[in-house]
Amino acid sequence: MKTLPILTATVLAAIALAGCDRPGTHTAANAANAPAPATTTDTNATPARDTTEAASTPVTGTQSNNVVTDTLVTGKVKTAITADNAMKDADISVKTENGVVTLTGMAKSPDQVTLASALAQRQEGVSRVENQVAVR
């Protein structure tokens, strides 16, 4: 049963990494969209500039790491909540941003609301839990 959280975290990490696109890594696509070379001999002409959004918006390593870390934390929290038998029939969504986990949704009892917070807080990478779960 311990392999389920590890497997879930691995799958979530793979999905997060698959969604990352680094500008300039798709050379075939870039070559197809590149402007044709100038054929004029005008020496006063200014060179063409790349005005695509990817070229003007650099992606920092820290920002990319936060997204991956937050995705992994979300997966760990979701796995912990769904694996706990006491959380049966609770409908809780999890969102993580910079280590802050936000829980939303519905629970059957106040005990489930408290347990959801405790399960989230126990996960590695969680700095704070904001519990917005309501009782049905």
Q: pLDDT tens for residues 75-105?
A: 999 999 999 999 999 999 999 999 999 999 9
Counting the structural domains of the chain, the total is 1
Residue 58: both structure tokens together: 């650099």
Count Cα neighbours of 9 within 13 Å in the Cβ-side half-sphere: 15
Burial zone of 78 (CB within 10 Å; 0-12 exposed, 13-18 middle, 19+ buried): buried
Band the pLDDT of 65: cuts 50, 70, 90.
Answer: confident
Q: Which amino acid is at 76?
A: K
The half-sphere exposure of 67 on its side-chain side, counting CA atoms within 13 A, is 13
Q: What confidence tens digit (pLDDT) does each residue in 4-16 have?
A: 666 666 665 666 6
User: Whole-prediction pTM value?
Assistant: 0.56
Angle, helix 61-83 to helix 110-121, in steps of 10 degrees: 140
**Residue-level pLDDT at 35:** 52
- Structural domain that includes position 23: 3-135
